[in-house]
Amino acid sequence: MRKGSNIEDEKGKILSFIPTGEYYFKKGLKAYRQRNLNKAKKYFSRAFELEPLEPVIACQLAIVETELGNYEESNRLLIMIANDLDPFMNEVHYFLANNYAHMGMFQEAFKHVNEYLQKDPDGEFSEDAEDLLEVIQMDAEEAEDVLIVQDELISLQEEARNLLEAGQFEAAIEVLNKIIDNYPEFWAAYNNLSLAYYYLGKTDKAFEVIDNVLEKSPGNLHALCNTAVFMYYGRNEEELQKIIATLQKVRPILMEHQYKLGTTFALVGRYEESYFWLKNLYKKGFDGDVNFYYWLSYAAHHTGHHKTARAAWEQVLQMAPEKDGLEPWNEEDFHFHQGIENVPSSIIKRLNSEYIEERLFGMFLLSLREDKKAITADPSFCDIENLTFQEKIYLAKVLDMELKPMDASPAIEIGHGTAQILYERFRPIGIEQIGVYLLWFSFFASILTKRPRLQKKEAYAAAIEYIWKKLRHQKASQKEVAEIYHISPATLRRYIQAIKKEISGISI
């Protein structure tokens, strides 16, 4: 590394001092020894910017990233050293093995710890490497079985998470039940299952799952947080306050639990508590995903920490540029744009679903778009040949194609028209609104090939809203809902019965 340099004029007077990589590296080491990891990272990063070919700087920066819990960034630096900067720096493989072990990626950890021991059997970290190997290596056959299980679990959990985020709750439930069958003590799957049931309006099933978790794992933080969210959306203020009082006393050690607590407080509108936990993680250098920075920005904005809110939002845009314009300080625009109807990829996912109610919902979402042609031209757009005849008719209607009189269907007119009325009441379509539409499109799917006796769209919309609120244990009287839609309570009751007759499992 180069020494710091002074620039002098002809008289020997110092005009300026130009810090070099070594200057910042030494400052980083000092901060590291004082256990000021964020400051150490800052100095090592600056040193690496000035001397990007210096493997020692890169390695020290990687070590700090590891201690901050940023394993992926640490691995990126270590792999760069191994592949490009210094292939003979063998300890890199030990550091990689250590990171992968923390991430639960035991196959990669096993590979790198063995590579280190082969290349440097008497190296500085050889004893530590042997200990690490003991932890991750059982006998070969058992290790392989465990690693296969780990990979399968990670894959299934990722699949379920993606389905939940896309609002494909039925598909998520199938995957989560599969996880629970194979891994009955994997509590995260139960908690995600409860969310899927809740967003579908199956509130009793959601609480049944949560109660099961709390019975077998008392004090399970994820279960308590999910219960708080359910109480918030169900407007059960009394029970919500009890759970919040409990959560306020919790002081989790694991960063993952601090993250869950912080986002939960934000979801239920407790921004001060949310900001405390999320900002604390931010200070520690927590390597969060887009949701972390999203909720940090939201909590910071609502507690007057506007500088932090904007800094966090910059991170959101780096990870998800499509969220530009959804800033929490643009409240009106934010609430208008945040729905899934404004996310083409979400529409396409629904059109490709194996569930007919999801596909019909996707077609309705498509009808709300002005760029229908662009979406239908997307390579991942659904294969129209796989749709049923009635679905093709509905899609043609959505795309404003001319239909023969014989193809016109009263059921399609009712299905689409009722969804339009619901959209006036439930927009934008956020994750908590998806369920009301899936309830309607489940009924729509059941009458697609029929000629419905009841044809009043406003009454169908009123019945769906009433059933939906009752399923979520929200206060709603038939008289109040009937007045909203300008129908009589008697008409509402008739339509409620018609829907209950077609959709099994509704108990209100």
In this structure, the answer to whether residues 314 and 220 fall within a common structural domain is yes
First CA to last CA distance, the chain: 74
> DSSP characters for 93-129?
HHHHHHHHHHTT-HHHHHHHHHHHHHH-TTSTTHHHH
Structure token pair of residue 296? 């940090």
Among positive and negative, which fits the CA dihedral 193, 348, 312, 328? negative
In this structure, the answer to whether residues 214 and 114 fall within a common structural domain is no
Radius of gyration of the chain (CA): 28
- The 10 Å Cβ neighbour count of residue 453 is 7
Q: Would residue 229 count as lying in a domain?
A: yes
Cα gap 297→311, rounded to integer Å: 8
Cα gap 470→476, rounded to integer Å: 7
> DSSP characters for 438-507?
HHHHHHHHHHTTS--S---HHHHHHHHHHHHHHHTT----HHHHHHHTT--HHHHHHHHHHHHHHSTT--
Q: Would residue 28 count as lying in a domain?
A: yes
Q: Would residue 395 count as lying in a domain?
A: no
Q: Would residue 286 count as lying in a domain?
A: yes
In this structure, the answer to whether residues 134 and 190 fall within a common structural domain is no
pLDDT score recorded for residue 507: 65
Structure token pair of residue 223? 């279960």
Residue at which a domain ends, from 115, 142, 169: 142
In this structure, the answer to whether residues 118 and 252 fall within a common structural domain is no
Our count of domains for the chain comes to 2
Cα gap 26→29, rounded to integer Å: 5
How far is residue 21 from each of residues 10, 75, 81, 229, 314, measured CA to CA in Å? Answer: 27, 22, 17, 49, 28
| Domain residue limits at 238 | 181-325
Structure token pair of residue 393? 């008719």
Among positive and negative, which fits the CA dihedral 179, 162, 336, 443? negative
β-pairing, 5-8 vs 14-18, is: antiparallel
How far is residue 16 from each of residues 5, 6, 19, 316, 506, measured CA to CA in Å? Answer: 9, 6, 10, 38, 77
pLDDT score recorded for residue 175: 92
- Domain CATH number, residue 257: 1.25.40.10
Specify the amino acid at residue 2: R
In this structure, the answer to whether residues 135 and 208 fall within a common structural domain is no
Cα gap 387→393, rounded to integer Å: 10
User: Between vectors from CA 467 to CA 202 and to CA 505, what angle results, nearest 5°?
Assistant: 45
In this structure, the answer to whether residues 259 and 126 fall within a common structural domain is no
How far is residue 341 from each of residues 184, 355, 376, measured CA to CA in Å? Answer: 36, 19, 15
pLDDT in tens, 383-393: 998 999 999 99
Say what the alpha-carbon torsion angle 131, 132, 133, 136 is, to the nearest 10 degrees.
130
Greatest CA separation for the chain: 101
In this structure, the answer to whether residues 111 and 196 fall within a common structural domain is no
Q: Would residue 456 count as lying in a domain?
A: no
Backbone angles phi and psi of 8, in degrees to 5: -120, 150
Of 471, 489, 424, 508, nearest to 197 (Cα)? Answer: 471
Residue at which a domain ends, from 120, 142, 164: 142
Structure token pair of residue 69? 């819990």
Q: Would residue 234 count as lying in a domain?
A: yes
What's the DSSP call for residue 83? I
Cα gap 501→244, rounded to integer Å: 39
Cα gap 123→395, rounded to integer Å: 66
Structure token pair of residue 390? 């009635």
In this structure, the answer to whether residues 192 and 320 fall within a common structural domain is yes
Cα gap 481→5, rounded to integer Å: 77
Residue at which a domain ends, from 298, 325, 352: 325
Ranges in the chain, pLDDT < 70: 1-19, 137-152, 287, 322, 325, 330-338, 402-408, 505-508
CB-based contacts of 409, cutoff 8 Å, min separation 6 = 390, 393, 448
Q: Would residue 366 count as lying in a domain?
A: no
Q: Would residue 245 count as lying in a domain?
A: yes
In this structure, the answer to whether residues 73 and 187 fall within a common structural domain is no
User: Between vectors from CA 386 to CA 383 and to CA 391, what angle results, nearest 5°?
Assistant: 100
In this structure, the answer to whether residues 293 and 228 fall within a common structural domain is yes
In this structure, the answer to whether residues 210 and 285 fall within a common structural domain is yes
In this structure, the answer to whether residues 186 and 313 fall within a common structural domain is yes
